[in-house]
Structure 1
Amino acid sequence: MSGPHPRRRARSPHTRAQPARHVAYETLRAVHESDAYANLLLPRAIGRAGLAPADAALATELAYGTLRKQGTYDAVIAAAAERSVDRIDPAVLDALRLGAHQLLSTRVASHAAVNESVALAREAAGAGGAGFANAVLRRVSRDTPGEWMARLDAQARSDDERLGLRHAHPVWVLRAFRRALAAEGRADELEALLDADNRSPAVTMAALPGLARIPDAAERTAYSPFGFRLGGGDPEPVIAAAAGAVRVQDEGSQLAALALSRCLPVRAGERWLDLCAGPGGKTAVLAAEALAGGASLEANEPVPARAALVRGSVAGVPLDVPVTEEDGRSRATRSPGRYDRVLVDAPCTGLGALRRRPEARWRKQPSDVAALAALQGELLDAALTALAPGGIVAYVTCSPHLAETAAVVADAARAWDGRVQELDARAVLHGAARHPIDLPTPRDGSGRAQLWPHRHGSDAMSITLLRRDP
């Protein structure tokens, strides 16, 4: 939530934004009713609505901004309504959230924010819902963002709750982030990380190595040798012209794949496996690298829809990449000693991608971590079983939570009792990157590399390399 600012001036004409508000509102409803993912749903909704670029940008800001700061807006709404948000009709609540975002974090005119949010509540819940929404939002609009934040600060029960409300993160998430940063001696970077999570990420692209060139006018990314950003506009024409050899991909994802493909020189005839491949971005990078080095690649993804995405992702690489649809644990253990390199991009909380998946911070719960960590450990164990002597597993999560990263690796090391050795993933990334990367050594002395949004401009990817003894 931004601080106090001058009273907003009306957009002219604000009625043009009405379709954008409808798209944003329907996205919120799908996220909360059907557990939809905004980053997948919103672009399709914008396309169906035929929004002009300016309205598409507004719909994106309204939907993503509202989801990012939902916890903070819920606290404001509860105070203004004098009732907890779980006592408010869900359809009306989403209209209130959308209105609160416009009132507290944008320069949309107050009357437009209130009136159009009330109209959405009326469509969803009739005159009663509209009257309630009108009263609540007019109460919200009477105070500045700074005044609301001061009120929430005074009501907070702890410093961490106050920090969570200010930066729109659940307390359990910010505590997990603090512990992960402290493991590098960088706990003082917590607020910078929380701020980075609340900023829209730039669109980062990858030109698959050996298959596509980075456009001359593009801005090179700092670390990935094939990452770039366009100056703006729609990336689809560039993607289409490259016939699958150029794609949108976070730089952290690019680096995670490179950590495996470039940890050692590739020997012709090596066999590689991407065990948890969906949606296929890292698979495509591995396919390009395998093609260049004379290796083969297989992929596995248990969810059929995601397996289809993997097949589409590797379609632009002239390498046969068979994609199986099995539980990764059984897929790996039925091929003991077969593979020279295995990527375990494990299912995780996704706390490292909150910039791009804003609803995840409110959807995940602390209780999710234990079940995911157990699955992650089983997948890593199966991948190590599938390794040939001297083979290497890259264990990757898009989460910095220590229970999903350091703890899983430590458990695997104990279970394999000296039969696996950890490589220095930080040194591998330094060797693969275009420029030096700030990757401090964890206090546990491990070789794990942890990327961060605030430090590297990427998702918070954790990367560990384990080599099975020859």
Structure 2
Amino acid sequence: MSAPAHHSRNRPPVRPRRDPRTGSARAVAFETLRAVHESDAYANLVLPKAIAAAGLTGADAGLATELTYGTLRRQGTYDAIIALSADRGAHEIDPPVLDALRLGVHQLLSTRIASHAAVNETVDLVRSARGKGAAGFANAVLRRISRDTPGEWMARVEASARSDDERIGLSSAHPVWVVRALRRALAAEGRADELEDLLHADNEAPRVTMTALPGLAEVPADATPTLYSPTGFRAGGGDPEPIVSGSEGRLRVQDEGSQLAAYALVNAAPIRPGERWLDLCAGPGGKTALLAAEALAHGAQLEANEISPVRAGLVRQALAAVPLDVPVSEEDGRVRASASLATYDRILVDAPCTGLGALRRRPEARWRKSPADVPELVALQRELASTAIGALKPGGILAYVTCSPHLAETSSVVADLRRDWGDEIEELDARAVVQSVAREPLDLAAPSDGSGRVQLWPHRHGTDAMFIALFRKR
């Protein structure tokens, strides 16, 4: 005989069976989010180590990656939703609890993970991190969010906006200052109407792009060549690490825009044997490796500099694939260049910047920087580029590059260089140089000042928003 029905009320509720795969992936994602927000770590550096430590592979590693990057990309939108559900600002919530909630909201509103699993597993994360009371709070917030559709929550978030720009920022998960900076940069090209497409592209996971170091490797026969870089390719899905390790680093992961920036310096003028080149801000070394391969092929010498010891180590790792002796110094680039007056034939200044051009790959950058950071960065960029010009021989070429389209970091720095150096420098047509390198013509909008600078875009070219300007010292 079965038990009376009323006895079932006294039994503990049967929790849905959990998928251990998603549980492990959530734990790795949560660990990475905590490192990003607690220690200012970079997800692209922390996550692979966390995945390896947890023993995740294949689909498991892919899920951890999606949970991490998806949560970081949409963080501002999720914070607004959490605030509405919790009746308190996100900044008032204990940081570990807030990170877990962000992770839970991403699963509820942007993935196909079952709601009960998203809620229960997230609550368990909070219980482990902050105890029973915090777990009860997280459970209440997430269950409230799970009752309504993503569209309904977005409508509420947009209705809470105090201006059109704030509405755009909340719906696209970009800080308002970034929205405005991107709009101004597009408007400088007469393309302000592309803002929505750009914001959407920033929130799309980028496809993995690779390069074959020239003269040292060939694009694999089964790979798909990229549209623009002469050595760029895509190798299909899956982890690219076996390709990289199998080629001893001669086939490597690198954004196509980064490849084009290095090739712009190489192709700005014919190379004479014995030239001396300098990569002044070399970390993490992708462009350095391409320059080293080209230097090897053309009988040039290359030196590299990177002020951060950790990033200098990455430069050395990247250079291990190239049989060329490339010394790597660890100095302030301004000091390094000032001590080498009239020494180099070509210098690359890939200057530290806000990183607004790489939000697809480093989504935490949009939440980490603020307008207050821009003036200090611009001053550094100007000083690095100016001292680099001083380190050029007469006739030497400078490539000034940033992974940001912010006008203060691009055209304003260029304008300052032209003003400060006057007739001692000549700006070259970087657009013509890049077009001469590219496999297919690029849609490069002419800047409003008629210069030949290059601005690449995620939505238009499928690359990071790399800025490239070229100068020759007279």
TM interval, short-chain normalised:
over 0.9
CA distance in 2 between partners of 1:381 and 1:420 (Å): 11
| Corresponding residue number in structure 2 for 1:123 | 128
Opposite residue 145 of structure 1, the aligned amino acid is P
Opposite residue 260 of structure 1, the aligned amino acid is L
2:287 to 257, 268, 282: 282
Identity percentage of aligned residues: 71
Q: Does residue 63 of structure 2 align to residue 77 of structure 1?
A: no
| Corresponding residue number in structure 2 for 1:162 | 167
| Corresponding residue number in structure 2 for 1:238 | 243
Q: Is the 8 A contact 1:277 1:283 kept in 2?
A: yes
| Corresponding residue number in structure 2 for 1:340 | 345
Opposite residue 415 of structure 1, the aligned amino acid is D
| Corresponding residue number in structure 2 for 1:206 | 211
**SS at 2:397's partner residue?**
strand
Deviation at 1:306, TM superposition (A): 1.1
| Corresponding residue number in structure 2 for 1:21 | 26
| Corresponding residue number in structure 2 for 1:4 | none
Q: Is the 8 A contact 1:11 1:108 kept in 2?
A: no
**SS at 1:455's partner residue?**
helix
* 1:253-402 superposed matches below 5 A: 253-402=258-407
Q: Is the 8 A contact 1:179 1:402 kept in 2?
A: yes
TM-aligned CA distance change 1:115 to 1:281, over 3 Å: same
* 1:98-109 superposed matches below 5 A: 98-109=103-114
| Corresponding residue number in structure 2 for 1:91 | 96
Measured against aligned partners, the alpha-carbon deviations of 1:383-427 in whole angstroms (never above 9, x if no partner) come to 000011011100000000000010011001100122111101010
**SS at 2:185's partner residue?**
helix
Q: Is the 8 A contact 2:16 2:116 kept in 1?
A: no
Q: Report how many residues are paired.
A: 460
**SS at 1:225's partner residue?**
coil
| Corresponding residue number in structure 2 for 1:145 | 150
**SS at 1:417's partner residue?**
helix
Measured against aligned partners, the alpha-carbon deviations of 1:165-211 in whole angstroms (never above 9, x if no partner) come to 11100000011000001111111100101101101111111100111
Opposite residue 39 of structure 2, the aligned amino acid is S
Q: Does residue 73 of structure 2 align to residue 48 of structure 1?
A: no
**SS at 1:418's partner residue?**
helix
Opposite residue 410 of structure 1, the aligned amino acid is A
| Corresponding residue number in structure 2 for 1:58 | 63
| Corresponding residue number in structure 1 for 2:473 | 468
| Corresponding residue number in structure 1 for 2:3 | none
Q: Does residue 452 of structure 2 align to residue 450 of structure 1?
A: no
Q: Is the 8 A contact 1:345 1:395 kept in 2?
A: yes
Q: Does residue 199 of structure 2 align to residue 194 of structure 1?
A: yes
Q: Does residue 146 of structure 2 align to residue 111 of structure 1?
A: no
| Corresponding residue number in structure 2 for 1:218 | 223
Q: Is the 8 A contact 1:104 1:144 kept in 2?
A: yes
TM-aligned CA distance change 1:256 to 1:106, over 3 Å: same
1:68 to 73, 76, 80: 73
1:424 to 425, 429, 448: 429
Q: Is the 8 A contact 2:232 2:256 kept in 1?
A: yes
Opposite residue 453 of structure 2, the aligned amino acid is R
CA distance in 2 between partners of 1:229 and 1:378 (Å): 37
Deviation at 1:89, TM superposition (A): 0.9
Deviation at 1:214, TM superposition (A): 0.7
Opposite residue 288 of structure 1, the aligned amino acid is A
CA distance in 2 between partners of 1:235 and 1:38 (Å): 18
Gaps of 5+ in 1: 1-9
CA distance in 2 between partners of 1:126 and 1:233 (Å): 38
TM-score, normalising length: structure 1: 0.96
CA distance in 1 between partners of 2:86 and 2:246 (Å): 52
Superposed structure 1 runs of 4+ greater than 4 Å apart = 10-13
Opposite residue 448 of structure 2, the aligned amino acid is R
CA distance in 1 between partners of 2:222 and 2:127 (Å): 48
**SS at 1:191's partner residue?**
helix
Deviation at 1:230, TM superposition (A): 0.6
Opposite residue 22 of structure 2, the aligned amino acid is A
CA distance in 1 between partners of 2:345 and 2:451 (Å): 22
CA distance in 2 between partners of 1:108 and 1:355 (Å): 23
Opposite residue 174 of structure 1, the aligned amino acid is V
CA distance in 2 between partners of 1:239 and 1:110 (Å): 38
**SS at 2:270's partner residue?**
coil
CA distance in 1 between partners of 2:219 and 2:122 (Å): 43
CA distance in 1 between partners of 2:153 and 2:381 (Å): 41
Larger Rg: 2
Opposite residue 81 of structure 1, the aligned amino acid is A
CA distance in 2 between partners of 1:440 and 1:215 (Å): 32
CA distance in 2 between partners of 1:395 and 1:249 (Å): 19
| Corresponding residue number in structure 2 for 1:227 | 232
**SS at 2:83's partner residue?**
helix
Deviation at 1:12, TM superposition (A): 8.1
CA distance in 2 between partners of 1:197 and 1:32 (Å): 20
**SS at 1:143's partner residue?**
coil
Deviation at 1:237, TM superposition (A): 2.0
Opposite residue 428 of structure 2, the aligned amino acid is L
| Corresponding residue number in structure 2 for 1:3 | none
Q: Is the 8 A contact 2:352 2:377 kept in 1?
A: yes
Measured against aligned partners, the alpha-carbon deviations of 1:35-92 in whole angstroms (never above 9, x if no partner) come to 1100110011000000131111111111110010000000000000001111111111
CA distance in 2 between partners of 1:11 and 1:402 (Å): 52
Of residues 185-194 and 304-313 in structure 1, the stretch that sits farther from structure 2 once superposed is 304-313
Measured against aligned partners, the alpha-carbon deviations of 1:369-389 in whole angstroms (never above 9, x if no partner) come to 100000000000100000110
Deviation at 1:11, TM superposition (A): 10
Of residues 401-410 and 51-60 in structure 1, the stretch that sits farther from structure 2 once superposed is 51-60
